[in-house]
Amino acid sequence: MNIFINLKSTGKRKPILNKSPYQIPENITTLQQLIETITRQEVAAYNSRGVDNMLIPFLHETNISNQAEAGKIGFGRLYSEKKADPDQSVKVALQGFEDGLFKVLIGENELLELDDPVDIHEGDVLTFIRLTFLAGRLW
């Protein structure tokens, strides 16, 4: 099933929601299964990237302007051959949701519990909002 995912971090300067196409299986029935599926897909994509062996790294002007709009300019290089563990990543993602580190919305509806049923249809938009804690004094 083809859906779209919006990613947003409240700590970023610009309120940009990037709507990215994403493909998930149709048999997902709970929020926990949704988080597990997306986490495993992202870990697989991360692990399939190779270590960057460019001798002289460079960015084109279009790369710089596109990354400047997002607020961070970098080479996107991987310097380590270490792979992420999918099972550990799923565990961390589920714990992060339970601890309130991010919110999940399907359309305008927020999912509050891992065992909440999800009703995802072709073309739906999922939004993940990573929450950022404020630093400072309490008094």
The amino acid at 3 = I
Q: Is residue 51 part of a domain?
A: no
pLDDT (0 to 100) of residue 15? 54
| Tokens standing for residue 127 | 């939004």
Give the domain range for residue 18: 1-44+84-139
User: Does residue 24 fall inside a structural domain?
Assistant: yes
Query: Residue 10: is its pLDDT beyond 90?
Result: no
In a domain, 127, yes or no: yes
Q: What is the pLDDT of residues 19-32, one digit of tens each?
A: 788 899 989 999 99
CATH code of residue 18: 3.10.20.90
Within a domain: 67: no
In a domain, 49, yes or no: no
The pLDDT, as a whole number, for residue 55 is 47
Residues 33-69: tens digit of each pLDDT: 999 999 999 999 888 876 555 545 566 677 777 777 6
Q: Is 14 among the domain residues?
A: yes
Residue 59 lies inside a defined structural domain of this protein: no
Question: Looking at the 3D structure of the chain, how many domains does it have?
Answer: 1
CA proximity to 112, closest of 49, 54, 55, 31? 31
110 within a domain of the structure (yes/no): yes
Three-state DSSP string of the chain: CEEEEEEEECCCCCCCCEEEEEECCCCCCEHHHHHHHHHHHHHHHHHHCCCCCCCCCCCCHHHHHHHHHHCCCCCCCCCCCCCCCHHHHHHHHHHHHHCCCEEEEECCEEECCCCCECCCCCCCEEEEEECCCCCCCCC
